[in-house]
Amino acid sequence: MANVTLTGLLKKAATEFPNRTALSASGKFDFTHSQLQELVDHAASLLVASGIKPGDVVALTFPNTVEFVIMFLAVIRCRATAAPLNAAYTAEEFEFYLSDSESRLLLVPTEGIQAAQVAASNLNIPTVSAALHGGESKISLSSNPESSPDSVRQLVNDPEDVSLFLHTSGTTSRPKGVPLTQLNLATSVLNIKTVYKLTESDSTVIVLPLFHVHGLLAGLLSSLVSGAAVTLPAAGRFSASTFWSDMINYNATWYTAVPTIHQIVLDRHTSKPEPVYPKLRFIRSCSASLAPSILARLEEAFGAPVLEAYAMTEAAHLMASNPLPEEGPHKAGSVGKPVGQEMGILNEQGEVQPPNANGEVCIRGLNVTKGYKNNPEANKSAFQFGWFHTGDLGFFDSDGYLHLVGRIKELINRGGEKISPIEVDAVLLAHPDAAEAVAFGVPDEKYGEEINCAVIPREGSTLNDAELLQHCKKNLASFKVPKKVFITDFLPKTATGKIQRRIVAEHFLSQMSAAKVPKFGA
């Protein structure tokens, strides 16, 4: 296992399933596994001809397009490091990420990404565009280098090659750079393939951005390694109006998404149901806590088991998951059992805790990064006692299922009572007229901290704060009931749809003395 590489697994899939569909862009391209491998090798030879050497970092900023997939795989094929970036960043943000990753080249689509190119120019980083103009053509680079296939054939990927450089989402602190090796990535995709029993008969539609570890590892790479098929939406991003037609047209058997997208899909089902839905093996949810009420509605609406999972960038995504129905029960409110690595609940002394005892969730395994780049303070706190410390509080029940209580930094300390905002979120979302909700702590003279929450009502509802508070009083212990409810029409999220609890708290805290809470961005 320690000698496995992601590129080796992809080549193996191309050899075993050469004629099966690997990658489709709705209405544009369809490539088999062997065709995709040829495109990747050719693109890798162009990068080598452009002067990219093993260990160089290449930044990529694209929508979810075939060009991104080919160039990402080409970068790691030539033993360089791929650093995917969100095209929505500002020039200032691009400068930080390009500088922090020490990128040597920026790859963009032919139409360009202005903010990224401005940042690259300020840092004297060359920019090259990549394009694929026809179904049978090879990718071309604007720098027009002369490729040599032999230059790639001579390159042998090593398990210790750093192939992916991502940053943490920064929801509780400044983003930290996470280097992931070929071995980290290979281990993770094999874990994903195993727990969900992915085979060449499976197919999925990508709904998450590929610059994030969830969409990249769980949606794209695990499918390609399994010989399965992946479809990219024609617009390069998720669209509720075309999602189910793509799922049906490409015979999808599953999909993975964050809770926000699941809620959008459910709302679409309620307002404009499809005449028919595909028969799915399972639906997967990850990257944020899924309220049990939303999980139940998904299963009822689409007739498929919903498997909640737990993942982090530092673990190359997957850490725990609820099993497929034939492998065991799904537990609502649980993120499942550990997958492919060792996991323990540790106290502050580094001692592993028994079942049902709270502590910090810690992991170790071949999928876990060896440390943050150029961040000794973060490494000192996150890597202790031979474990990676996730910063999440949780416990294992007597059946070995992991239950998350919340981020340690986000727990609300009300008069000595530690309250999980995730628990309050779930109760708020169980109200039939609540579309989105987030609970957070605010300073309080009497208790130290008090609970507040912000809620987006469902369209057309007349939900008010008094009604929500009454609902909470019926379903929560009195000390967990929010003191104040803010009704709003927007909640800030990360690029993958995770609500930024810290920013929500800061915004409403600053507006406490106002008679009327303004909208975000007002």
Q: If we measure between CA atoms, which residue out of 477, 483, 476, 488 comes closest to residue 520?
A: 488
Average pLDDT over residues 18-44: 94
Instruction: Say which range, 77-86, 173-182, 335-344, 448-457, has the weakest mean pLDDT.
Output: 173-182
The set of residues, in sequence order, having a beta carbon less than 8 Å from that of 326 and lying 6+ positions away, is none
pLDDT tens digit string along 195-222?
Answer: 999 999 999 999 999 999 999 999 999 9
pLDDT tens digit string along 462-507?
Answer: 999 999 999 999 999 899 999 999 999 999 888 777 788 888 888 8
Q: How many residues does the chain have?
A: 522
Count Cβ atoms within 10 A of the Cβ of residue 354 and give its class: 0-12 exposed, 13-18 middle, 19 or more buried. exposed
Tokens representing 508 are 């409403």
Instruction: Say which range, 110-119, 238-247, 305-314, 413-422, has the weakest mean pLDDT.
Output: 413-422
The proportion of the chain whose per-residue pLDDT surpasses 70, expressed as a percent, equals 96
pLDDT tens digit string along 357-386?
Answer: 999 999 999 999 999 998 999 999 999 999
Positive or negative torsion for Cα 219, 161, 12, 236: positive
pLDDT band at 522; cut points 50, 70, 90:
very low
**pLDDT score, position 3:** 87
3-state secondary structure of 7: helix
- Which domains, ranges and CATH numbers included, belong to the chain? 6-393 (3.40.50.12780), 411-510 (3.30.300.30)
pTM: 0.87
Q: Report d(CA 18, CA 67) in Å as an integer.
A: 20
Q: Report d(CA 78, CA 70) in Å as an integer.
A: 12
Give the dihedral of Cα atoms 366, 329, 226, 73; nearest 10 deg: -50
Average pLDDT over residues 435-451: 90
